[in-house]
Amino acid sequence: MQTPYTEPISPSKTRIGWIGIGIMGSAMASRLIAAGYSLTLYARNPSKALPLQSQGAHLANSPYDVAQCSDVVFTIIGGPPDVRSIVLGPDGILSGLNSGGVTVDMTSSHPNLAREISKAADSKGCWAVDAPVSGADVGAREGKLAIMAGGEAGVVEWLSPLFQIMGRCTYMGEAGCGQSCKIANQMVGSANLVGLSEALTFAEHARLDLKSVLNGIRGGVGGNMIIELFGERMIERDFRPGGFVEYLVKDLGMGLDVVESEDESVCALPGAALYKNLFSAMIANGDAKLGLQALITVIERLNGIHKASTQVVNCDGC
């Protein structure tokens, strides 16, 4: 392809590369395969690619090799250091992407890095889009993710057939704006998680039926997606991850870093700083690989309450 505008995206003509097959990435890639797209994968642990290979995906030896045989390459990996290595490294995506190709980073990463990648892609005659997602494991499986995209508006529009398979895309602006929106999303989600954890702890202290409490809150201004995703899991002590707390701490930290590095002293973020400290307490307690809903254990500990989860948590291979 000379540019992303020469022909519309279609399963018969558009070759997809995919890097990142964790809890969410594997579900997103699976949906693209089910929609008829040809996928080429790279995985640091090739055995994790076996389920997608059984659906017809091809396994490549490096990000460079993925890019060489792809028109669009998606990444959804750990964080900014991983993104930098996979996209900008000597054997990375941009070293192998052909002119006119597109790299789409769906990782929650740093806005400054997204802008750096965009400039590097432009120098190669390619395009870069930052399109982080929200919706946890359920949203990834059901194709109901919120996708926040930054980059060239026409390229984001061209990618819309792929985004529609994974969820609903909102265009946020130039490169880096998708990542900035995701950081804002994490601040709202964190506030709701803290509120839900405190509400359930308080309700139990008040000897209320916790499932009835959830039903009552759903009908009021406190109703939100966090309750739908995590309320029952908190009550049932099911802390299996739909997303890892260490990634949320990273995201909140990036928001605070943007404010500090850009000297935006008028933008005080006291809530984000508090939420980061509370979720960091989970990590300090050895719970970095638990789901976000395990924040309730931090609130309980502050109240002298110590409980075990009723679900066995084994994150090997997550």
pLDDT in tens, 204-249: 999 999 999 999 999 899 999 999 999 999 999 999 988 788 889 9
Angstrom distances, CA of residue 300 to CA of 1, 188, 278, 305: 56, 22, 12, 5
H/E run at residue 102? strand 102-105
Domains of the chain: 15-175 (3.40.50.720), 181-302 (1.10.1040.10)
pLDDT score at 193:
96
What's the one-letter identity of residue 202?
F
What six digits make up the tokens of 52? 């997608």
Contact 294, 282 (CB under 8 A): yes
- If one counts every other C-beta atom within 10 angstroms of the C-beta of residue 121, the result is 24
DSSP β-ladder status, 145-150 and 133-134: antiparallel
Cβ-based neighbours of 133, under 8 Å, separated by 6 or more: 24, 28, 76, 106, 139, 140, 145, 146, 147, 148, 166, 167, 182
Measured CA to CA, the distance from residue 229 to residue 140 in angstroms comes to 12
What's the one-letter identity of residue 272?
A
Confirm whether 182 is a catalytic residue. yes
Model pTM score: 0.89
pLDDT score at 1:
44
pLDDT score at 267:
75
Measured CA to CA, the distance from residue 309 to residue 235 in angstroms comes to 10
What's the one-letter identity of residue 308?
A
Measured CA to CA, the distance from residue 19 to residue 23 in angstroms comes to 13
Measured CA to CA, the distance from residue 232 to residue 228 in angstroms comes to 8
Contact 146, 139 (CB under 8 A): yes
Measured CA to CA, the distance from residue 197 to residue 189 in angstroms comes to 12
Place of tokens 């980073």: 105
Mean pLDDT of 56-83: 96
DSSP β-ladder status, 58-59 and 72-75: unpaired
Query: Which of the following is catalytic: 48, 119, 124, 182?
Result: 182
DSSP bridge partners of 15:
38
Q: Which of 136, 114, 100 is nearest to 25 (CA)?
A: 136
Angstrom distances, CA of residue 19 to CA of 64, 67, 144, 179, 189: 11, 10, 20, 18, 26
Q: How far is CA 293 from the centre of its chain?
A: 16
> What Rg value do the Cα atoms of the chain yield, rounded?
20
Q: Is the pLDDT of residue 313 over 50?
A: no
- If one counts every other C-beta atom within 10 angstroms of the C-beta of residue 54, the result is 8
Residues in the chain: 318
DSSP code for 244: B
pLDDT score at 315:
39
Task: Tell me which of 3 and 94 has the higher pLDDT.
Answer: 94
Give the pLDDT band (50/70/90) at residue 110: very high
Question: What pLDDT digit, counting tens, does each position of 9-20 carry?
Answer: 999 999 999 999
Measured CA to CA, the distance from residue 282 to residue 313 in angstroms comes to 15
Residues 203-225: b if buried by 16+ CB within 10 A, e if exposed: bbeeeeebeebbeebeeeeeebb
Give the pLDDT band (50/70/90) at residue 316: very low
